Amino acid sequence: MILTKKLSDKFAKSLVETGQIDKEFEESYSYCIDFVLDLVVYNLSLLIIGAILHNFVTALVYIISIVPLKMVAGGAHANTRGMCSVISYASFGLTLLLSCILKPSPVFCLVSFFVSVPLVILLSPVEHENKRFDDAGKKKLKRLSLIFSLIITVLFLLLLKFSLYKYCFTISICVMTVLVNQLIGLVIFKAKVKEN
């Protein structure tokens, strides 16, 4: 987001000006601060949108389900920050809409979830031309993908036990979204590798 980028640049610059960090680290600090601010602002905005639309819990389930898993699973990346924001908000909006208008059966939720989760784990992490991993990095991200998937599975099963199918469906959509993003990322990455 443009706002978080400007704030992080100003904050990093002030750290340099006050002598708290060296000038050579300004860009790194700005990037890290921007990443954290962007994540916080994005997630808070989803919660606010969810609350305004009387779907706060759905928004919370969406954030818990998709954000950590997407971060470790990898996949396609937008070419610009603006396009990334558009895609991210559109994905949230579509998930919210589908969760509100469709009433899938528990069987559909179970099948879609338990088919998608193992595939996400199997494919994790999907590399990007600008984000390559060494073997240790791949193993770490695969392990984190497994851990996050287990946490999401426990949440899914708890929601299922209490017949909260709307939220089970939300989680299923999130995991399927991560899987589709991974598949798109794989196709793009393999095409880029063939070009080189």
* Residue 48's pLDDT band (cuts 50, 70, 90): very high
pLDDT confidence tier of residue 190, bands split at 50, 70 and 90:
confident
**What is the structure's pLDDT at 7?**
87
Q: Does the structure show a pLDDT above 80 at 3? A: no
Per-residue pLDDT tens digits for 88-97: 999 999 999 9
Residue 192 has pLDDT above 90, yes or no: no
- Name the burial class of residue 124, with classes exposed (0-12), middle (13-18) and buried (19+) by CB atoms within 10 angstroms of its CB: buried
* Band (78; pLDDT cuts 50, 70, 90): confident
pLDDT more than 90, % of the chain: 71
Whether the per-residue pLDDT at 196 is higher than 70: the answer is: no
pLDDT band (50, 70, 90) for residue 194? confident
pLDDT surpassing 90 at residue 128: no
Q: What is the arithmetic mean of pLDDT over 58-67?
A: 97
- Upper half-sphere CA count for residue 156 (Cβ side, 13 Å): 27
Choice between 137 and 1, residue whose per-residue pLDDT is larger: 137
Percent of the chain with pLDDT over 70: 99
